[in-house]
Chain A
Amino acid sequence: MARIELQNITKAYGSVEVMRDIDLTIEDGEFLVLVGPSGCGKSTLLRMIAGLEPITGGEFLINGERMNEVPPRDRDMAMVFQSYALYPHMDVARNMGFSLEIRKSGSEERDRKVGEAAKTLGLTALTKRLPKALSGGQRQRVAMGRAIVRDPSAFLFDEPLSNLDAALRVEMRLEIARMHQRLAATMIYVTHDQVEALTLADRIVVLNAGKIQQVGTPLDLYESPANKFVAQFIGSPTMNILSVEQNSNGIQLKDGTVLQMAGTPDKDSVSELGVRPEHLNIVSPEKAHLSGVAELVEHLGSDTNIHAKVPGVGQVLVRQHGHYPLKAGEPVDIALDLDKTHLFDQKGRRLAA
């Protein structure tokens, strides 16, 4: 079991600093998800934790002991790669038992552990096959089995589901969640898919451009994003951002509409207002804050997404539950759920209500 601490971690390639001031503590048994757009440094961070990438500066501790320079083999972590990285010349059983083979454990113990893992993952019938004779989903299971067999103190996942089709991805996501419940081991999981992040994580770390934007539980991030980046990154469809300014009356939209908000921050730095599509409602004209025309209506069955154009304000996306009978070109009147809006300053920081 492992408690992993990152203190002031920096990463540079030559003179180019790609990551700085990474401070993070991962508690024993926690499921932590690193999420961010591609190129944000999440995989690099994971690879530094694994020992595959040298750490330029800062302290990296496992259970309180400095491990910066310890090679990967002595960190007692298992990793599931995006490409699965199955050894093409070894059959499934040997792939799964390879770490035990290297550690010179007895063949009986190895067979037993590989057998157990294969059974839990439903791979028993495939143990003699080579990776090239497996389907994508089966390969993914072998990669997970290889990690489980080792019984490591921490599991690292580098976008493990991104090469699977949508249905398999949902299935394997559940499998990973079950695995975490059963093993109660520390898990660090990198993904760019916010659904995976929100469903799996105890806590989520949002990274952008090599810096931590926010650390929190999925609900924290959804309800109180620290800044505009997190607000837009978490939640689907993306949060609407409307330009506003603050005057003596309250918060004023660009078309002149004034919003009467309780607990408006007593600052003149308000620059933008964020509101999620699900916190907008189509209402009768007299209750509306915004009036515009539906440009595009997407009927998803469970929801209806209405892309509306509001003169003076811009594009607004409204999400209505269930089927909403509206056609493109028809007028829409929209009300904001004022309790659930977010205000941001010029630098994109969220202003606490």
Chain B
Amino acid sequence: MRNFGKQSTVAVAGKYLALGFYVAFALFPLYWLAKIAVTPDKLIFTDGTALVPSSFTFENFRTVLLHTDFLAYFRNSLVVSLGTAAITTCIAAAAGYAFSRFDFRGKRLIIAAMLITQMFPLLMIIAPIYKIVAAVGLLNSLTSLIIVYTAFNIPFATFLMQSFFDGIPKDLEEAGMIDGCTRFQALRKIILPLTLPGLAATLGFIFTAAWSELLFALMLINSNDTMTFPVGLLTFVSKFSVDWGQMMAAGVLALVPSCLFFIFIQRYLVQGLTSGAVKG
């Protein structure tokens, strides 16, 4: 860092101040969420805007986990998000591979169609989807959510996977094919092992997206048994809007899987997101 010695101390101080502002802005809401969650109920109002609670408790977490339906919501969301992420990644990997490696008739058309799906208001199809799902008797089922989320996420995931495949030289699978592989064998034995980081990143992105989807879940699910976490939390908030500690404890719990995946995919963000999402 010595080569930056020529910068004035004021500029350096300003830079660290700006960085400090960004970090504080990013973390403060989450900190507050966690703070209220660990503050004992009777102290919530007396502590007011104090930055550190005067005593800690995990009672709120215990109540949420043991005496509410949150575990069920959590399980439903986990099923939906994992199912969506797994299926989407498989389908998108195949499609991204085709985009990356083949030139064929209709390619531009299909890419254009996929881009269009990213442009129109998804809410536009909420009514037709509701009617179709109701007609096939899949309302209140997690399967319908998985299918719908999978379709929504395929275009983005496909462009993301394509960018990962584009990063692997074509020579490698050609060498494999000359060495005696069929195209599929070359894909399985040579390309896929090299795409594992890309597959993991895609899984993470899709999982996070499915985990936070609210409006379609709200529309398609109204039975308490199959509610996903966002729907469940929202119902809880509108029903018991004074159990602050418990609501925030539930919020902190909802944050956990996303943050785990975020840490997991963090290092691919800058390279993966841009090449996949923007150029694609």
Contact = CB atoms under 8 A, between A and B. Distances in A.
Interface string A57-98: 000000000000001110001110111011111000000001
B30 interface: no
Interface in B139-174: 169, 171-172, 174
B62 to A, nearest CB: 46
Contact of A102 (B172, B179, B194): B179
Interface string B172-190: 1011111111100100011
B121 interface: no
B193 interface: yes
A85 B185 contact: no
Interface of A: 50-52, 71-73, 77-79, 81-83, 85-89, 98-99, 102-103, 146, 150
Nearest to B173: A85
B182 A85 contact: no
A73 B194 contact: no
Nearest to A99: B179
Contact of B179 (A51, A88, A146): A146
A81 B178 CA distance: 11
A317 B182 CA distance: 53
Contact of A79 (B175, B181, B182): B175
Nearest to B174: A52
A77 B178 contact: yes
A78 B175 CA distance: 9
Nearest to A156: B178
| Majority-rule SS of A interface residues | loop
B177 A73 contact: yes
Given A72-B177, A99-B179, A102-B181, 11 more contacts: A72-B178, A73-B177, A73-B179, A73-B181, A79-B178, A83-B169, A87-B175, A87-B190, A98-B176, A99-B180, A102-B179
A71 B174 contact: no
Contacts of A89: 193-194
A51 B179 CA distance: 12
B175 to A, nearest CB: 4
A81 B180 contact: no
Contacts of A88: 172, 194
B194 to A, nearest CB: 6
Contacts of B193: 89
Nearest to B190: A87
B276 to A, nearest CB: 21
B197 to A, nearest CB: 12
Interface of B: 169, 171-172, 174-182, 185, 189-190, 193-194
A78 B178 contact: yes
Contacts of B194: 88-89
Nearest to B196: A89
A71 B193 CA distance: 23
Contacts of A146: 175, 179
Nearest to A98: B179
Contacts of B176: 87, 98, 102
Nearest to B175: A85
B178 A50 contact: yes
B181 A81 contact: no
Q: By CB atoms of chain A within 10 A, which of B171, B193, B194 has the most?
A: B171
Given A87-B190, A89-B193, A102-B185, A52 B172 contact: no
Contacts of B174: 50, 52, 72, 79, 81, 85
Given A87-B190, A89-B194, A73 B175 contact: no
A89 B192 CA distance: 11
Contacts of A79: 174-175, 178
B171 A150 contact: no
Contacts of B178: 50-52, 72-73, 77-79
A85 B190 CA distance: 11
Top-3 shortest CB links A-B: A85-B171, A99-B179, A85-B175
A98 B179 CA distance: 7
A143 B171 CA distance: 12
Specify which of A88, A103, A150 lies most central, judged by the most chain B CB atoms within 10 Å of its CB: A88
B165 to A, nearest CB: 15
A90 to B, nearest CB: 9
Contacts of B181: 73, 102
Nearest to B177: A72
Nearest to B103: A13
A304 B179 CA distance: 48
B180 A83 contact: no
A69 B176 CA distance: 18
A87 B172 contact: yes
Contacts of A103: 180
Nearest to B182: A73
Nearest to A158: B171
Nearest to B183: A71
A267 to B, nearest CB: 48
Contacts of A99: 179-180
Contacts of B179: 73, 78, 98-99, 102, 146, 150
A86 B175 CA distance: 8
15 contacts: A71-B182, A72-B174, A72-B177, A77-B178, A78-B178, A78-B179, A79-B178, A81-B171, A81-B175, A83-B171, A87-B172, A87-B176, A102-B179, A102-B180, A102-B185
A322 B139 CA distance: 91
Nearest to A102: B180
A13 to B, nearest CB: 9
Contacts of A87: 172, 175-176, 190
B107 to A, nearest CB: 13
B270 to A, nearest CB: 22
B56 to A, nearest CB: 48
A323 B178 CA distance: 50
Contacts of B185: 102
